[in-house]
Copies of this chain bind each other. A is one copy, B any other.
Amino acid sequence: MSLLIVGSIALDTVKTPVEEHSDLLGGSASYAAAAASYFSPVKLVGVVGSDFPKSEFDFWKSRKIDTAGVQQVEGKTFRWSGEYAWDMNTRETRSTELNVFEKFEPELPPAYRETDFALLANIAPALQMNVLKQIQRPRFVVADTMNLWIETTRKDLDALLPNVDLLILNDSEAREMVKETSLIKAGRRIRESGPRYVAIKKGEHGALLFGEDEFFSCGAYPLEDIHDPTGAGDTFAGGMAGYLASTVRKVTFTDLRKAMIYGSVLASFCVEAFSLDRLRNLTMEQINERYETFKLMSQFEGAE
């Protein structure tokens, strides 16, 4: 089934201790859509400026990503620039220019309104809610968020949560959201505030998934070299939502477990190259090979 994805579409400038590249495709929706496209047809919602490269529309077309919901307007595309510390674990934002994103008002094309699955990738919760209201009875809604919205638009976020089936956030965001050091307590408390399921991303330490009486924990794919961590979290969310949208029956906790592994697999590819370059032409064989590695590295019964 198809998956509607709304989020930011950006042109990023990224500096790591060894390389720097400018005006690369970025933004939460770009990463998520590329990742999800390996599992489900994607309907993309976002805004770009008149400077946005046509070649990226061609890329989306090649991945069967529907761009009827991407508005191209006069002005410059949203731009973000960041620099990573030597250990690649911390980064500093050098600049954020909202540009055409500042006045973005998502309006879904009629064909988008009956989508069964929706991923509200990381943007302001008011925009996420705006899009959600335009969809008729979605079967499953995934939302990603970040510390900025927890700190500045908490009311909007709280209003969104009861409409979300799966909330995805990272460890520091989870701790901040409920003022709780234990991630186990944090995950359970966030779940009680609305979303049916909560996934906490822990970077190199993997991810945790909380259901009502269910819990799942997975490690990260054992990568030695990371070239650009940008978008790993958006890719994780896209991989998860894309896999979920490919299931046919009611989403079960087992589907969510597998989705989390696929999200982790896609994120592991994402960080191996700058921007979303590594996500442009993966094969299902490559994806499934890493999925099998996850099986091997996490099973302890019958593993001989």
- A188 to B225: give the CA distance in the assembly, Å: 13
Residues of A179-212 contacting chain B, CB below 8 A: 181-185, 188, 202, 204-206, 208
Chain A interface category by residue count: 35 or more
Residues of chain B with a CB closer than 8 A to A261's CB: 300
Interface stretch of the complex, out of A37-45, A154-162, A213-221, A277-285: A213-221
Residues of chain B with a CB closer than 8 A to A260's CB: 300
Given the contacts A182-B224, A184-B224, A224-B182, A208 and B219 also touching, CB distance less than 8 Å:
yes
- A204 to B206: give the CA distance in the assembly, Å: 12
Q: Give the residue of B182, B205, B225, B300 whose beta carbon is less than 8 angstroms from that of A216.
A: B300
Interface residue A248 (Cβ < 8 Å from any Cβ of B)? no
- A224 to B257: give the CA distance in the assembly, Å: 21
Interface residue A297 (Cβ < 8 Å from any Cβ of B)? yes
Residues of chain B with a CB closer than 8 A to A303's CB: 253-254, 257
- A216 to B219: give the CA distance in the assembly, Å: 9
- A208 to B205: give the CA distance in the assembly, Å: 10
How many copies of this chain sit in the oligomeric assembly?
2
Nearest CB in chain B: distance from A103 CB, A:
41
- A294 to B202: give the CA distance in the assembly, Å: 19
Interface residue A301 (Cβ < 8 Å from any Cβ of B)? yes
Residues of chain B with a CB closer than 8 A to A304's CB: 252, 254
Nearest CB in chain B: distance from A251 CB, A:
13
Q: Most chain-B CB neighbours within 10 Å: which of A219, A224, A257?
A: A219
Given the contacts A206-B219, A218-B219, A224 and B181 also touching, CB distance less than 8 Å:
no
Q: Which residue of B lies closest to A222 (CB)?
A: B184
B219 to A219, Cβ gap below 8 A?
A: yes
Residues of chain B with a CB closer than 8 A to A204's CB: 182-183
**Known contacts A215-B296, A215-B297, A252-B304, then 8 further A-B pairs from the complex at CB < 8 Å, ordered by chain A residue:** A89-B181, A182-B223, A184-B222, A185-B224, A216-B297, A217-B222, A257-B299, A260-B300
